[in-house]
Structure formats: C-alpha cells, structure tokens
Amino acid sequence: MDLNSILGPIIGIVMIVLGILTSTDPKTHVVTAHFNDASSLLMNFIDLPSVLIVVGGTLACLMVAFPISQFKKIGKHMKIIFSPNQYNPAAYIAQIVGFAKKARVSGLLALEEDIENVEDPFMKSSLMMVVDSVDPDKVKQQMETELEYMEDRHTRDRAMYDKGAAFAPGFGMIGTL
C-alpha cells in the first residue's frame, strides 16, 4: 500500500476537523480570532473553515490518487508555471541553422567546440550524437523517444492538477455548509 493512501485520508480528516474547530462564533458569525479593521473587512470574504475543508479535502484526495513522487515535483512545477517562458523557437531555429552552416563548411567535428555553449539538454545530447557520427536514423529515433518520454511525463504531471480541479468544486460545496 502506498504511503499516500494512508496519509491522504488522515490529512483530509485533520483538515475537516480544523475547519470545524475554527468555525465562526454562532452569535456574531465572525471567525474566533482578533483582527484589526482592515483585515477584518477582508475576513468578511474569507471563511477559514471553508478554505481548510476545500484545500485539505482536495489535497487528501490527490494524495490517495497519486504517488508521493508527484507531490515532490509541485515546487518545480510552480517555478516553471510562474517564470517567464524561457523557450524561444526562433532562437532554437537560428542556432540549428548556425550549426548546419558550420558543419557544412568545417565538418561535423567542428561542432564539438559548440557543445559546451549549448544550454538545452535535449539539444546538447542530440548535437553530441551528431558529432560522434551516430547514424542519422538512430539520432532521430533517440530524439523522438526522448520527446515521447517528455510528453508522457508532462501528461502525468498535468493529470494531478486536472484531478485537483475536478475535486475542488465538490469540496467547495461541502465547505459552504
């Protein structure tokens, strides 16, 4: 049994209990905490128990549905999601055209000095195979295989967020009660 199958329901129950314990005072309908005036206005729109139920319940369901290795990647995913797009197709095309011109004039071995300057790991490994005179069909096959693995990995990672988006509204309905 996966550790997440045990931790998920426990975390879900703890979050629901925390949501219940931090519920509003029935007489004043205010969260039982003291806030200054500006934050109390904001707290009119935020219901802490509901937030705990929605976030905790969604997280618990995701923990049951996915292995812990998926959760370890969340920080990396957030960094990628919120950073500016680092891939510029025009720059890659220009770089490949430059490599082709250099190889045509000076031969494939002349590209060896350029390998150190290539930052993209996919491009770097492909260029190394070309410089090592690997059969072009094998280079193409290797590149396609790497792309398939990358696409599969991205699909698996995206599935976790899609599931979370499917679970959250249900817990939102529970949180409104």
Q: How many CB atoms lie within 10 A of CB 56?
A: 21
Residue 31's beta-bridge partner residues? 24
CB atoms within 10 A of CB 164: 16
Instruction: Write the secondary structure of 44-102 as one string of H (helix), E (strand) and C (coil).
Output: CCCCHHHHHHHHHHHHHHHHHHCCHHHHCCHHHHHHHHHCCCCCCHHHHHHHHHHHHHH
pTM above 0.85, yes or no: no
CA distance 133 to 46: 62
Residue 10: count other Cβ atoms within 10 Å of its Cβ: 11
* Per-residue pLDDT, 34: 46
Neighbours of 101 (CB within 10 A): 10
* Other beta carbons less than 10 A from residue 142's beta carbon: 14
Q: Which pLDDT value is given to residue 26?
A: 58
User: In this structure, are residues 140 and 126 in contact, taking their beta carbons and an 8 Å threshold?
Assistant: no
Closest CA to 48 of 4, 16, 5, 26: 16
Predicted confidence pLDDT, tens digits, the chain (177 residues) = 567 777 888 888 888 777 766 665 556 555 555 445 555 655 666 788 888 889 999 999 999 999 998 888 988 988 888 887 777 888 889 988 998 898 898 888 888 888 888 888 888 998 899 888 889 899 999 999 999 999 999 999 999 999 999 999 999 898 887
